[in-house]
Amino acid sequence: MRTIVWVLLLFSLLAFSFFNWKSVEVQIWSNLVLETKLPALVIVSFLLGLLPMWLLHRASAWRARRRIAALETATHKMSAPAATPTPTATPPVSPPRDDFAPPPANPVDPEPTKP
């Protein structure tokens, strides 16, 4: 649909330009006169009117996208289950090892070792 509107706008601009290809004088100041073709004057006037409104539209759309993203983030954080902190258990403390101590006697061993 948008393409059809742009094509119709372009066609009407071309038809206007074809039938109104005349030079016009635009008095800017008392001693400054601009002589230009009428279609160029119409196109420049159209763009000067369109540009501020287009920029305003883009800025409001950008602001709306930012607000929506912030609300989605807040909603996502609220709906996510809260992480429950797990209590950190302290590991059991074992007595220090003495590597130079003799091995414990085996009470099940029937024969004592002879030196």
| Whether residue 115 has pLDDT greater than 60 | no
**How many residues make up the chain in this entry?**
115
pLDDT per residue as tens digits for the range 23-63: 989 888 888 998 999 999 999 998 999 999 999 999 999 99
| Whether residue 70 has pLDDT greater than 80 | yes
| Whether residue 65 has pLDDT greater than 90 | yes
Determine if the pTM surpasses 0.85: no
User: Distance (Å, rounded) from C-alpha 93 to C-alpha 103?
Assistant: 22
Share of the chain above pLDDT 70, in %: 75
Rg (CA), the chain: 43
| Whether residue 11 has pLDDT greater than 60 | yes
